[in-house]
Each structure stands twice: as C-alpha cells, then as structure tokens.
A and B are shown apart, each in its own frame.
Chain A
Amino acid sequence: MTEPLTFMMGKFPAPLQADRRYCKNHMWCQAAGEALRFGFTTYAVRLMQDVYFLDWEISEGDTIALKQKIGHIETSKAMSDLFAPVAGTLVRFNPELLNDPSAINVDMYGNGWLFEIAGSDAETLSMNDYHAFLEAGWEKTQNMLKGHM
C-alpha cells in the first residue's frame, strides 16, 4: 500500500491521500459507484482559504468537455473560474455544498467533495505524479501569486 505523501508549500504541509487520483487543476478524483467523484486538494484549499460562494454554471446531466468552464468559486482570499477536470457527463453536484460550501474547508477529501462525473480517469495523475507536478510548478505558482497582484 502506498504511503500518503505531503507536499510542502513553503513551510506549510498539503497532505495528499493515497487512495485516489489527482488532476492538474488541483482536484482529486475517486471512483464513486459508476461515476468519478471530484473535490479540491489541500493544495487548492490552502491557496483559496475560506470558501464564501460556489456557483455552478452547468446542470446535472449535462455533457461536459475537458477544461470546459463549469462554475465559479469565491473565497476569502481568491476567486476563480472552475473547469472540468475530465470530459464526461455531470452526474450530480454535492447537494450539501449548494447551501453551505464550508465543508470544502473542513473536509475537502471527504464530505467537501464537489461533483461526480461519468467519465474516464485515464487522463488523471497518480498521487506520486501529482506530487511531482506540484514540485515542478511550485516556484512558478509562487511567482504567479506574487506577480498577479
């Protein structure tokens, strides 16, 4: 069994879980029945901090393309459009988050999941690959965060 990895964002740990796969848009991906369930990684949540608003622009049952814009999130420190991590059909959104998105902060790897898509996880990354992806991008990300403001 693979040991969980932790990516260090500077001196702050962003733990990864070994029981799932990851996407380059900083979501995790795990089989849930017939579908794939997605949520934010600790890496994403740390950058965003407290989630205030979460809006979806598509509906359950819609066909979505990879990287299609599907929604928007606003947090205490950031905002971002959200994009489909894989192509497929949107099965459902996490109903709990529609009223109160705070589970994203409290339990991002569990109850704070975002949505389920019927699709393939062939394009997703293993935990090790995602960790390496974070390593490779960390300096650029820091520059982006600083440069963007």
Chain B
Amino acid sequence: MARNRITVVLSQAQGKHPAKRALEESVVAALLMEPGVEVSVVPYLYDLGPDHTGRMFLESVRGDMVLLSWLFPRAAFWILDRDGIKGHWGESQLKSPHADADDDEAKVPEPPKGIGALDVPNRHIYALDMRDFNNHEVYVEEVRRIAAECRERNEKKQKATTPAAPASLVQLGLVTHDEPPAPTRLFEPEQMLQAPAGRRWYPVIDYSRCTNCMECIDFCLFGVYGVNGEERILVENQDNCKKGCPACSRVCPEQAIIFPDYKTAAIAGAPIGAIANLKIDLSKLFGGSEKDAVSQAVLERDRELVAVGRDAVGTAVGLPKRQMQSSAKPKDDLDSLIDALDSLDI
C-alpha cells in the first residue's frame, strides 16, 4: 500500500570522489532490496535548479521522505523547504560521531524562537548526513527504523481520524482524504549519474531560527533577499548571491542563515547546540589576522562590491548599532571552555 512505502532519495556528492561514490552505491544497492522502500538518486541537492529533473522528482514525492546527502541535515532540510518541498522535521537517531559526547544534555530542545516554515504538509522529512559514517549498513538500519516509525505514526493518524463507530459524514470525508500516490521511480541511479548540476551558491534560511529581523536584507547589497506578501523574509534571488561570500550569515543574530558549502561547520548548518558555536578561533594564533564576525562580513561584502565595479561601503551601510558595540558573550561558556582546555592531558 502506498501509504506504507517510504521514499528514500540519495543526493550525490559533488565531484567524483571515489570513496563517496562507493558509499552511495552500496547504500543504494542495499536499499533497492529493502521492502517498502522506494529509492532514487539525484545529484547534489544544493545545486539543483528549479528546472532540474531531480528537483522535479523531489517535488513529486508526497509521503514521508528520507534524504541522504553530503550536507548537514539542517542544511538539507531547509534547502528542501526553500524549494517548496516541505514537511515536518524527522529526527534521525544517527548521531554524528563528530559531535561531542555531552551534546545530548545540551540538546534540551529550546522552544523554537524562529518564525517557522509556512504551509507544512502532514508528512515528515528525515535528513541523514552521509559524512557521518562510511558503512552503508548504518544508513540502511536507520532507514528501516524510520520506515517503521513512519508506518506507526501514519497508522496512529489513521486511527485518530477513523472513528471507532461510524460517525458523521464530515469525519468520513476526512478518512478518504487523498491517498498519496506512490512516487514513481523516474530515474535509475545510472541515469542520474549523468546529470550533474552546475554548482550554485546561495543562502538558505533556517526558519526555525529566523526571527524575521531583516538584518540580512539590510546588509546584503546584491538583492538576494526579499519579502513575500506577508512581509516574511525569503531568499528571493538565489543566483544574485556572490560565490564564496557568507557575509550575511555572519551578521545574522540568530545564525539562521546557512551556506551549505561553506567551510566552517557553524555556517554550513551544523546541528543546533553543537559545540561549533563555542569553538575558539585560533586563526590569529596560527598566523592569520583576527577579525570578529561583523568586520569579516564587511570585508567580504566590500570585496564583492569592488569585484562588480561598485564602491566599497565599509561599515556605513546596513549594520545595526547593536552589533557595532557588543562583544559581550556569556561568561560561563568561556570559563568552562578554558577549564576543558586545561583539564586535557596530552
């Protein structure tokens, strides 16, 4: 029955890294044998433009979905959201081996501060990070677990909407609520391999963090951001964004702006509460010149302005005063971090 099937989409890595390809192939091979699982392969999710067949396929998936990608789950989830492929956040049980052991206690879920996603349909999207493990079994196991979890959830939902005794017509109407069509497998993995997308670069907003404060739209001078009819911030012109420039992400007070391909984990969409936010930047010590986030953002923006023949604006445009003066950060984090440094025995 279509309702009991789960769609697994594997988004390939950029380039042709043999180890990554090998893992992708073994995951797909194993999932093809898995009952109740529809598996498809698309190129690197972040690069898929609106006309790409891979993206259209993703748009056609109706039920619960697992997305395997070489991206942080948060990044993958919010890229999909921006593409109109929406769902509720499915919590994976796979924990990155790179996360700190004490992450769990730090993960007391804070009440969401952000404005949230719009028009979320009644399904879950699970994003798994292919960089976490190099054994395909781990992913297959997790897909099985997720499939079972979704089955259970959907059965419960069905029960909740199916009255024990025949009740009003209205409720009966709900039950027949359209069965999601089984997504057809449009592409064989072989075909997808031949359809790589050109590389793209644009910000992705995590609406679970975004408070609609508009600092990004004030800061970016390239017209990347816009607002919709309800004055909600959105990444309007993705391809206006300047490749390699993550400046708006640095000025975002909630760290809600993700550049999935950026080198530092915090900007690329590392999990909420991950230690990445508390890491010391040793760049100055290791030979770089130290810059705080805002001055770095200003430099990056000026570089891009000059590159397109415009004048550098420095700190004159789009910076709230609040950020200009504040460098105060919680003292506790600092202290415990220094303590942690000291307590380590090498």
Contacts and interface: CB of A to CB of B under 8 A. Distances in A.
A47 B279 CA distance: 11
Given A52-B98, A72-B264, A76-B275, A26 B285 contact: yes
Interface string B259-291: 000011100000000011011111111111010
Interface stretch (B119-127, B315-323, B331-339): B331-339
Contacts of B264: 72, 74, 79
Q: Is the interface of A mostly helix, strand, loop or mixed?
A: mixed
B287 A25 contact: yes
Nearest to A45: B346
Interface in B281-333: 281-288, 290, 329, 333
B281 A146 contact: no
B286 A25 contact: yes
A55 B263 contact: yes
B164 interface: no
Interface in A60-104: 67, 69, 72, 74-83, 85
Q: Is the interface of B mostly helix, strand, loop or mixed?
A: loop
Contacts of B288: 67, 69, 80-81, 83
A47 to B, nearest CB: 6
> Which among B282, B288, B342, B346 has the highest number of chain A CB atoms within 10 Å?
B282
Contacts of A14: 346
B286 A12 contact: no
A103 B275 CA distance: 22
A14 B280 CA distance: 19
A46 B100 CA distance: 17
B344 A46 contact: yes
A10 B345 CA distance: 12
A47 B341 contact: yes
Contacts of B281: 78-80, 148
A144 interface: yes
B340 interface: yes
A5 interface: no
A144 B285 contact: yes
Given A52-B98, A145-B280, A149-B333, A77 B341 contact: yes
Contacts, number: 95
Interface string A107-148: 000000000000000000000000000000000010011101
Interface string A37-49: 0000010111111
Contact of A74 (B279, B285, B344): B279
B213 to A, nearest CB: 24
A77 B286 contact: no
Given A67-B287, A72-B263, A149-B329, A80 B282 contact: yes
Nearest to B289: A67
B104 to A, nearest CB: 16
Contacts of B342: 10-12
A76 B101 CA distance: 11
B280 A82 contact: no
Contact of A77 (B265, B279, B346): B279
A80 B286 contact: yes
A143 to B, nearest CB: 11
A77 to B, nearest CB: 6
Nearest to B329: A149
B334 A85 contact: no
A76 B342 CA distance: 14
A124 to B, nearest CB: 13
Contact of B287 (A45, A74, A85, A148): A85
A77 B345 CA distance: 14
A79 B279 contact: yes
Contacts of B333: 149
A47 B265 contact: no
Contact of A81 (B286, B341, B346): B286
Contacts of B346: 12, 14, 42, 45-46
Contacts of B265: 53, 74, 79
Contacts of B344: 12, 46, 49
Interface of B: 98, 100, 263-265, 275-276, 278-288, 290, 329, 333-334, 337-338, 340-342, 344-346
13 contacts: A12-B342, A25-B286, A44-B285, A44-B286, A47-B282, A74-B279, A77-B280, A79-B281, A83-B286, A83-B288, A144-B290, A148-B281, A149-B280
Given A80-B286, A82-B287, A83-B287, 4 more contacts: A14-B346, A25-B286, A76-B275, A77-B279
9 cross-chain pairs, A with B, having the tightest CB-CB distances, nearest first: A83-B287, A25-B287, A149-B334, A80-B282, A78-B280, A81-B283, A80-B283, A25-B286, A78-B282
